[in-house]
Copies of this chain bind each other. A is one copy, B any other.
C-alpha cells in the first residue's frame, strides 16, 4: 500500500488537522469526538444542517461545511459509520435555536447511529428532523444497506438544503425540501479499479485487467455485475438508461416526530423521470479518475438525456463523493424544479464547492 499518510491510525485525524489548518475562515474541527463545523456557528435563528458518514469520500462531507451548505459534518473512520456522540455533540454545538436537520445516507450503521443521536439531541430539547438519502438505483439491498444506498444525490441535497437553511427557512421546510430532493434524485456508479482502505492495507476487491464493476457502491461493495470493459459511451448509456427508466420506487423510512418524541414510519414512492423534465446532471469521479474522462462521459450523457426528452439545466462535474483513489465514476440525475434551482444557484463557500462569493 502506497499512500500519502503517516501512521495508519492517524489518517483521519491528520486529514482533519489539515482541513482546519487550511480553512480557518470557513470551518473548525473538534476532536474526540470528531466533527467539522462552521467557524461562525451557531447561527442564531437558522436551521443547522448536519451530515456525516465514513471518511474516504472527500470532499464529502467535511469539505462541504461552510456558508450555504453544511453547518457540521461528522466523519467516522475510513468507510466506517460515525458514532452517535459525534452527531449529538455536533448538534449541541451548532444548534442556533431553529433546530437541526440530520441528512443521512442510507447505510445501516449510519442510520442507527444518527437515530440514536437524534433521540439524544431531542431529549436535550433540540428540535430534530432526520432525512434519509437512498438514491442508488443499482441494487435494492447491499452489503451495508437495507434498501437502496445513499450516494450522489447526497452532495446535491447538501447544497440545496444548505442554501434553504442559509436563507432562514424553517426546520420543517428544510426537511420537506430534503425529502423532495431525495425523491427526485437517482444515481448509479461503476469502478475500473478498487481502492485500498489504509487500515486494511490491501485492495478491497480485485478487478481483472479488462474488467469493470457496474453498480458499485462507494465503499467498494459489489454492484450489479462484473463485465469486460466497453467504451465510455456504452457505459454511460447503460447507467443513464437505468437511471432514466427507474421507478417508481417504494420504501418505508423512519422519520423523527418531534411532537410525540417518537419515530414514525413513512411510506414514500418516487416518480420516474419523464420526458419534459429539467434535470441537474452530476458526473462524479470516484477519486482516481481524472476530470478529462468525466467530460467524455458527460458528452454521451448529454446525448442520452436529450434523446429521452430530459433537459440538463445545471451540471456538476468532478470528484465530489469519492471512494479514496478508486477509478470509476457515477452519474446522478436530479429532477429540478424552480425551488430546487433557486437554492442550487444560491452562493456557496466551502472548501469543496464554491460560487457566488
Contact indicator A299/B17 (Cβ below 8 Å): yes
Contact indicator A3/B293 (Cβ below 8 Å): yes
Contact indicator B289/A325 (Cβ below 8 Å): yes
Residue in chain B with minimal CB distance to A320: B291
Q: How big is chain A's contact interface, by range?
A: 35 or more
**How many angstroms from the CA of A229 to the CA of B58 in the assembled complex?**
24
Contact indicator B289/A2 (Cβ below 8 Å): no
Q: Which residue of the partner chain, among B63, B231, B299, B351, contacts A18 with CB atoms under 8 Å? A: B299
Contact indicator B295/A18 (Cβ below 8 Å): yes
B-contact bits for A39-58, CB 8 A (1 contact / 0 none): 00000000000000001101
**How many angstroms from the CA of A68 to the CA of B230 in the assembled complex?**
39
Q: Which residue of the partner chain, among B55, B58, B292, B357, contacts A55 with CB atoms under 8 Å? A: B292
Residue in chain B with minimal CB distance to A59: B291
Contacts of A22 in B (CB 8 A): 295, 298, 302, 315, 317
Contacts of A14 in B (CB 8 A): 295-296, 299
Contacts of A21 in B (CB 8 A): 298-299, 302
Q: Does A65 contact B (CB under 8 A)?
A: no
| Partner-binding segment picked from A4-12, A81-89, A152-160, A175-183 | A4-12
**How many angstroms from the CA of A56 to the CA of B292 in the assembled complex?**
7
Q: Please give the distance in Å from A190's CB to the nearest CB on chain B.
A: 9
Contacts of A210 in B (CB 8 A): 2
**How many angstroms from the CA of A298 to the CA of B15 in the assembled complex?**
9
Contacts of A18 in B (CB 8 A): 294-299, 302
Q: Which residue of the partner chain, among B235, B322, B329, contacts A290 with CB atoms under 8 Å? A: B322
Q: Does A319 contact B (CB under 8 A)?
A: yes
B-contact bits for A194-237, CB 8 A (1 contact / 0 none): 00000000000000011010000000000000000101110100
Chain B CB count within 10 A is highest, among A55, A63, A192, A296, for A296
Contacts of A63 in B (CB 8 A): 291
Residue in chain B with minimal CB distance to A58: B292
Contacts of A295 in B (CB 8 A): 14-16, 18-19, 22, 58
Contact indicator A192/B4 (Cβ below 8 Å): yes
Residue in chain B with minimal CB distance to A303: B21
Q: Please give the distance in Å from A10's CB to the nearest CB on chain B.
A: 9
Contacts of A293 in B (CB 8 A): 3-5, 15
Q: Does A66 contact B (CB under 8 A)?
A: no
**Are A291 and B315 also in contact (CB < 8 A) when A22-B298, A302-B21, A354-B355 are?**
no
Contacts of A192 in B (CB 8 A): 2-4
Excluding A18-B294, A291-B322, 4 further A-B contacts by CB distance (< 8 Å) are: A2-B212, A58-B295, A290-B322, A349-B355
Q: Provide 8 A-B residue pairs closer than 8 Å at the C-beta atoms, listed in order of the A residue.
A: A2-B193, A4-B192, A7-B231, A18-B296, A22-B315, A288-B290, A288-B325, A354-B355
